[in-house]
């Protein structure tokens, strides 16, 4: 009986492992695709005035941010945006799951990003608050309030995707 239980343990552990298997991520960045840059405006708030010349603490961050949000809404380019997420996110989250998550936005057309503020959360970690103007599938224009985090690791900026509902372990 003991031997049988031991075998059962082993086999079930094995099944558990293999049932979970799916695609794996890499940190390689695919060839640069063509995309339409999303316009960015610096509206600020009643209390916060933004100077576009000093808003970005790093020109690379501006470039990466613009690229990321322009690509997020392009069909079939999730591989590119996935590679712009933090390396730990890429390691911990299945790319297919990410594709489904991002894919839900393809029917929308991004029209504009309007910044309200930028905050330094920690060394090399910044948060943006902005409004994203979108044209949705039925032609309506909608404005969505967003909060977005970016981290600099070894000289490169990465998007910090946090969604405690969809990606609890990586958020």
Partner 1 sequence: MKLKWLLAVFLCMFYVGISVAEEKKVPDNMSVEPDYTPIAKGDGFVLTQNEVNEYRNFVETKTNERTVEKEYRRVALMVRLFAEEGKAIGIDPKESGDTFDSRAKLCNLYAEKVIKDYKPDDLVIESYYFSNPDKFKTESGSIKPLNDDTKKEIREIVIKVNSKKIHNKAVEQLKQKYHVRLCGSDKGGCK
What residues make contact with partner 1 under the rule CB under 8 A?
A: 3, 5-25, 27, 86-92, 94, 121-125, 149, 151-154, 158, 160, 169-170
Residue pointed to by tokens 């996935």 = 82
Compute the least distance from the CB of residue 13 to partner 1, in Å. 5
Compute the least distance from the CB of residue 50 to partner 1, in Å. 25
Residue pointed to by tokens 């299945």 = 94
Compute the least distance from the CB of residue 128 to partner 1, in Å. 15
> Using CA atoms, how far apart are residues 42 and 10, in angstroms rounded to an integer?
59
Q: Which is nearer to partner 1, 10 or 48 (CB)?
A: 10
The token pair at 50 is 């933004």
Q: Which is nearer to partner 1, 77 or 160 (CB)?
A: 160
> Using CA atoms, how far apart are residues 145 and 115, in angstroms rounded to an integer?
10
> Using CA atoms, how far apart are residues 59 and 155, in angstroms rounded to an integer?
12
């Amino acid at each position: 009986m003991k031997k049988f239980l031991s075998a059962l343990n082993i086999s079930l552990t094995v099944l558990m492992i293999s049932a979970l298997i799916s695609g794996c991520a890499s940190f390689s960045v695919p060839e640069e695709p063509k995309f339409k840059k999303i316009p960015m405006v610096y509206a600020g708030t009643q209390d916060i005035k933004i100077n576009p010349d000093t808003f970005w603490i790093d020109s690379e961050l501006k470039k990466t941010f613009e690229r990321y949000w322009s690509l997020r809404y392009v069909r079939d380019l999730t591989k590119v945006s996935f590679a712009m997420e933090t390396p730990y996110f890429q390691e911990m989250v299945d790319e297919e799951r990410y594709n489904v998550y991002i894919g839900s936005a393809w029917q929308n057309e991004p029209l504009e990003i309007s910044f309200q503020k930028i905050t330094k959360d920690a060394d090399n970690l910044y948060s943006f608050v902005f409004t994203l103007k979108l044209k949705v599938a039925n032609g309506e224009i909608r404005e969505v309030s967003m909060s977005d985090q970016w981290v600099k690791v070894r000289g490169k900026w990465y998007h910090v995707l946090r969604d405690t509902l969809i990606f609890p372990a990586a958020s």
